[in-house]
Amino acid sequence: MSPKAIPYGRQQITEADIKAVEATLRSDYLTQGPKVNAFEEAFAAYIGSKYAIAVANGTAALHLSALALGVGPGKRVITSPLTFVASANCVLYCGGTVEFCDIDPQTLLLDIEAVRKKLEGAPIGTYAGIIPVDFTGAAVDMEAFRALADDFGLFLLEDSCHAPGGYFTDSKGKKQNCGNGVFADAAIFSFHPVKHIAAGEGGMITTNDSRLYQKLLRLRTHGITKNPKEIKKNSEGWYYEMQELGYNYRLNEISCSLGLSQLERAKEELSKRKKIAERYIKAFTNVPDLELLDTGQEGHAYHLFVIKTKRRKSLYDYLKKNNIYPQIHYIPVHLQPFFQNLGFKKGDYPITEAYYEKCITLPLFPSLKEEEIRYVIKIVKSFFID
């Protein structure tokens, strides 16, 4: 018997989450209240960054970060073609130019050697920054990217949407959490319900740079400041200044209280993700025509569980017929019609394109029940072995 539909990702809402949201609904503030700060502080502590700024969603986090890092007309920024479109779009929002480099076939992360080649092949000053993505929850080696960025005077913005709680081990043997701001200038996260922490919608920017932090705070609220140290004229109590063009990218109290409540069990949920991934790896090892990704990395955050197969299209249809709803991550950004109109074409990033032909994302989320895990394993195996 097929159980109820199993999506590739789903939020988990506990009684504690509901109580937290209810308390906010009964409080004095629906926005711009104490939950914003509380969520930001707890998130910064979890990730290990100095500062965190809550914003409306992950895309707004990318947009504001790109702006604050100086992206604008004439600025070129490099990102991975294997990501959600927002990682590239944020550059375009600011009037900048986005370019891609291919991925490493093993890690599926932005290939640092390809980036180095691109940078070395252009006059110094051509590029302004790099946006690496912790794709599937695998941590980018930001130490290596920092060294490269410094050689060329570039900013580093880490898209850590897949990797809260993930880490890599640096050259000194120290664990470095994704988005902790030690190597990147800033990092961003999303609280869309399919991500590790659900807040309805929501995003976070982390940084260790106090100047960048102050700028992001202003940009989040229309470029307006009331900080006496920042305003030109100091006088009346009601006085504020709009000093630059900002946005309303604030995150409300309801979402912040939900995010905060979810954050309290983030570590626990991450280890559940890891256990499910390990079950899959064990079950799918040595299945003919089924390729596992190299997910052995210790600090993997297991946002997505991807397998590869030459028979991807029929597997996709077969799973749907059996009430399992897989997803494809991602259609390469440069193959989207909008980007094709900008001049990108099929064949530009062959490693990404070859990966895309075969990839499929299986259900992975902490509230996946034992019988659902067994069902997914059984159905996937029955496709390959009949």
Ligand X SMILES: *Cc1c(COP(=O)(O)O)cnc(C)c1O
7 Cα distance to chain centroid:
19
Cis preceding-peptide flag for 330 (omega within 30 of 0): yes
Q: Which of 81, 203, 299, 366 binds ligand X (CB under 6 A)?
A: 203
Considering the rule CB under 6 A, would residue 157 count as an interface residue with ligand X? no
Considering the rule CB under 6 A, would residue 159 count as an interface residue with ligand X? yes
* Residue closer to ligand X (CB basis): 161 or 186: 161
Beta-sheet strand order (sheet of 305-308)? 291-292, 305-308, 359-362
CB 188 within 8 A of CB 160: yes
DSSP letter string over 211-258? HHHHHHHHHHBTTEE--TTT-SS---TT--EE-S---B----HHHHHH
CB atoms within 10 A of CB 273: 22
Q: Which of 49, 87, 261, 309 binds ligand X (CB under 6 A)?
A: 87
Considering the rule CB under 6 A, would residue 59 count as an interface residue with ligand X? yes
- From the list 73-81, 84-92, 270-278, 341-349, the region that binds ligand X by CB under 6 A is 84-92
Q: Which of 10, 17, 46, 58 binds ligand X (CB under 6 A)?
A: 58
Half-sphere exposure of 318 toward its Cβ, with a 13 Å CA cutoff?
15
- From the list 123-131, 156-164, 350-358, 362-370, the region that binds ligand X by CB under 6 A is 156-164
Considering the rule CB under 6 A, would residue 83 count as an interface residue with ligand X? yes
Phi, psi of 35 (to 5 degrees): -70, -30
Contacts (CB under 6 A) with ligand X, residues 123-152:
133
In eight-state DSSP terms, residue 19 is: H
* Residue closer to ligand X (CB basis): 55 or 373: 55
Whole-number minimum distance, CB 195 to ligand X, in Å?
A: 6
In eight-state DSSP terms, residue 323 is: T
* Residue closer to ligand X (CB basis): 87 or 208: 87
Q: How many residues bind ligand X (CB under 6 A)?
A: 14
Whole-number minimum distance, CB 60 to ligand X, in Å?
A: 7
* Residue closer to ligand X (CB basis): 58 or 259: 58
CB 269 within 8 A of CB 12: yes
Q: How far apart are CA 254 and CA 100, in angstroms?
A: 37
Whole-number minimum distance, CB 173 to ligand X, in Å?
A: 28
Q: Give me Rg for the CA atoms of the chain.
A: 21
Contacts (CB under 6 A) with ligand X, residues 177-196:
190, 192
Q: Which of 8, 39, 46, 84 binds ligand X (CB under 6 A)?
A: 84
Considering the rule CB under 6 A, would residue 86 count as an interface residue with ligand X? yes
Looking at residue 78, its amino acid is: I
* Residue closer to ligand X (CB basis): 87 or 322: 87
- From the list 9-17, 46-54, 81-89, 232-240, the region that binds ligand X by CB under 6 A is 81-89
Whole-number minimum distance, CB 365 to ligand X, in Å?
A: 14
Of all residues in the shown chain, the one whose CB is closest to ligand X is 58
Considering the rule CB under 6 A, would residue 198 count as an interface residue with ligand X? no
- E strands along the chain, which residues? 6-7, 51-55, 76-79, 97-100, 127-131, 155-159, 167-169, 175-177, 186-190, 203-207, 224-225, 241-242, 291-292, 305-308, 324-325, 359-362
Which H or E element spans position 44? helix 34-47
* Residue closer to ligand X (CB basis): 86 or 290: 86
* Residue closer to ligand X (CB basis): 84 or 375: 84
Considering the rule CB under 6 A, would residue 161 count as an interface residue with ligand X? yes
Residues that bind ligand X (CB under 6 A): 57-59, 83-84, 86-87, 133, 159, 161-162, 190, 192, 203
